[in-house]
Amino acid sequence: MLTVRQIATPGFALLSYVVTDAESGECFVLDPPGDFGPEVDLSALNVKAVINTHTHPDHTMGNGLFSGRAPILAHE
Instruction: Count the domains in the chain.
Output: 1
pTM: 0.90
**Is the separation of the CB atoms in 59 and 14 below 8 Å?**
yes
Residue 37 region by backbone torsions, left for phi larger than 0, else alpha for psi between -120 and 50, else beta = left
Distance CA 57, CA 76 (A): 14
Per-residue pLDDT of the chain (76 residues; tens, 9 = 90+): 999 999 988 777 889 999 999 999 999 999 999 888 888 888 899 999 999 999 988 889 999 999 999 999 998 7
Distance CA 17, CA 19 (A): 6
Q: Which domain holds residue 8?
A: 2-74
Distance CA 65, CA 2 (A): 23
Distance CA 24, CA 33 (A): 24
